[in-house]
Amino acid sequence: MKNLYIILAFSLALIQLVAGHPVVGVSKKRDVFYDPEAAAKKLHGELPSGMEQRDGLAVNATEYPSSVADALSPSNAKQSELQSSSVKLSSTTSNSADVRQATTAEVGEHTFYTKLSATAYCRDVIPGGEFTCKYCDESLTLVKTFSTTGTDTNAMVLRGDTQKTIYVVFRGTSSIRNFVVDATFLPVDYPLAEGTKVHKGFLDSYNAVRDNLVKTIEEQANQYPDYKFGLTGHSLGGAQVVLNAIDLFNLNQTRYGPDKLEIFTQGEPRVGNKNFAEYLLNTKISHERLVHERDIVPHLPPSIMGFSHSGTEFWSNEDGIQVCATGIETENCSNSIVPFTSIADHLTYLGVNVGLCI
């Protein structure tokens, strides 16, 4: 009987592969809980008394330390105290085997998507429906915008005929400080993947525009079947495009699979638990997360609560843009800066003012 179960399971997987649908899921075996920020927290020590914080993270550590390099320097008092201990951080420089420098092409691609995310904050664009602003690319056609009042969800679909790409853009929250300081991080079951959980607020805000948004995307996909899909968003918008990507993937794994769809986010918060992060990773969809220096938002909701990132982190700091190994997040790159995080670094990405329409 046991052998029969094995044969049936193998046959099902083979059928799915032959049909062009990858087998997606989460592994049943679980390792001991791993907090990717624990090493940095222990190494750097507690924040100075009186510094505003959220769940042990500095809300605006812009002066202490004065830079990313200073925070990671061995001259840091707490770090010096622990240098001889067993607590070590993996290298966060380009010399690390798991970290490399971004190529010129990659920087250009992230700059394009960062500017695209910034346009979503312009009221003339959303809800105005006029794609005219500082970063509005004239080669793109604005197809439709989506807005809700209850959840303050804002999104748009654009088409690039030169790029042969359909773009989906979500706007971030209108009050990042309220999210950082006052938000309640409540995980709920995610219906599309058994055993996974996501942030309730992110899921509710996405679902508020889901039906009309997906309908528009499907219409564009039917009209332009050879076009690819580029999904992008800053802050809360980054979380929403992740949910949109998985939603589309489950709708049609051929049309919205890894060969056709890519995700680029800026300052994306953790969307769900490790099971959810694994599920997203197992879809094989390219998911690149841009993190600017000490931006606090990618460290929320806290990893200690079980929330986790996946994909490929692109960490923008004084040394350029460092590309971390693809997978479930580790102690490398921006996690090495904890707890010296900052809201200020959330507002500018690659020289682009995101969160404001200028």
Contact 103, 338 (CB under 8 A): no
Candidates 295, 309, 336, 345; catalytic one: 295
Return the H-helix or E-strand segment holding 180. helix 176-182
What is the spatial distance between Cα 289 and Cα 232, in angstroms, rounded to a whole number? 10
Task: Dig out the tokens for 151 from the structure.
Answer: 């959840």
What is the spatial distance between Cα 270 and Cα 87, in angstroms, rounded to a whole number? 25
Please say if 211 is a catalytic residue. Answer: no
CB neighbourhood size of 219 (10 A):
13
Site of tokens 């969160």: 355
**Alpha-carbon dihedral of residues 269, 272, 275, 280, nearest 10 degrees?**
-60
Q: Which of 344, 271, 340 is nearest to 56 (CA)?
A: 340
Contacts of 183-190 with C-beta under 8 Å, sequence gap 24+, read 183/300, 185/300, 185/301, 185/302, 185/305, 185/307, 187/272, 187/273, 187/305, 187/306, 187/307, 190/272, 190/276
Candidates 235, 316, 334, 336; catalytic one: 235
Q: What b/e string do you get for 141-175 counting C-beta neighbours within 10 Å, with b at 16 or more?
A: ebbbbbbeeeeebbbbbbbbeeeebbbbbbbbbee
Q: Which amino acid is at 272?
A: G
What is the spatial distance between Cα 330 and Cα 333, in angstroms, rounded to a whole number? 8
What is the spatial distance between Cα 341 and Cα 181, in angstroms, rounded to a whole number? 13
Contact 206, 199 (CB under 8 A): no
Please say if 152 is a catalytic residue. Answer: no
What is the spatial distance between Cα 336 and Cα 322, in angstroms, rounded to a whole number? 13
Please say if 235 is a catalytic residue. Answer: yes
Question: Starting at the edge strand that comes first in sequence, how are the strands of the sheet with 154-160 ordered?
Answer: 99-101, 320-324, 312-317, 286-292, 261-266, 228-234, 165-170, 154-160, 140-147
Q: Residues with catalytic annotation? A: 235, 295, 346
